[in-house]
Chain A
Amino acid sequence: DVKVTQSSRYLVKRTGEKVFLECVQDMDHENMFWYRQDPGLGLRLIYFSYDVKMKEKGDIPEGYSVSREKKERFSLILESASTNQTSMYLCASRAGRYNEQFFGPGTRLTVL
């Protein structure tokens, strides 16, 4: 069974902290994504990785960075968390451009 897992379901951090969100997929997928989801705004792409060590900015990359050192793992880093980064963060993966995306369960991050 296909699986995308995220390191935490809920996370509370303080303003200014460095935050790491981890995503792991077990399907040998090339492509991995980080989205954030906010009420009324839908899903917005933060970063996309099409292969190991390859990344591309999405629509809202400011304040975020990513790392993909291994094919199965894609990390999202908030260098200095701010309250406007309080959101639901969703990771997804897919085999290729014309394949369906598989989503992780999401991490609800609160920055105080």
Chain B
Amino acid sequence: KNEVEQSPQNLTAQEGEFITINCSYSVGISALHWLQQHPGGGIVSLFMLSSGKKKHGRLIATINIQEKHSSLHITASHPRDSAVYICAVLRLHNTDKLIFGTGTRLQVFP
């Protein structure tokens, strides 16, 4: 079983819909990252969080440390939000390496 699981694997939405992508992990962590990858390869860091909630524009990320779960929400989705969204965790103690989920592919149609 992967230490970081994302759901769903694929998601399609109509423009304007509210979107939620989930990330569950099985290890103790010190931080969780949400990343965005557009077709063509480049990866951009969206959020890094260790507790609570962060907001940037139409994107909101939440984390529940006790439940080992994080969600990424997109409000008023737009076709330009179409991308792969990747969750990654930094394990607690003695490691500098991120563990990555396999990503959620989002397509938003006009």
Q: Scoring B residues 31 to 47 as 1 if CB is less than 8 Å from chain A, else 0, what string do you get? A: 10101000011111100
**Number of B residues, CB within 8 Å of A:** 21
Residue A74 is within 8 A (CB to CB) of chain B in the complex:
no
Q: Which residue of B lies closest to A42 (CB)?
A: B102
Residue B97 is within 8 A (CB to CB) of chain A in the complex:
yes
Known: A50-B96, A88-B41, A90-B41. A40 touches B102 (CB 8 A): yes
Interface bin, chain A: 20 to 34
The 8 Å CB contact of B100, one of A9, A40, A43, A48, is A43
Question: A residues near B, CB below 8 A?
Answer: 9, 31, 40-45, 48, 50, 56, 58-59, 88, 90, 92, 97-106, 108
Question: B residues near A, CB below 8 A?
Answer: 30-31, 33, 35, 40-45, 48, 86, 88, 90, 96-98, 100-103
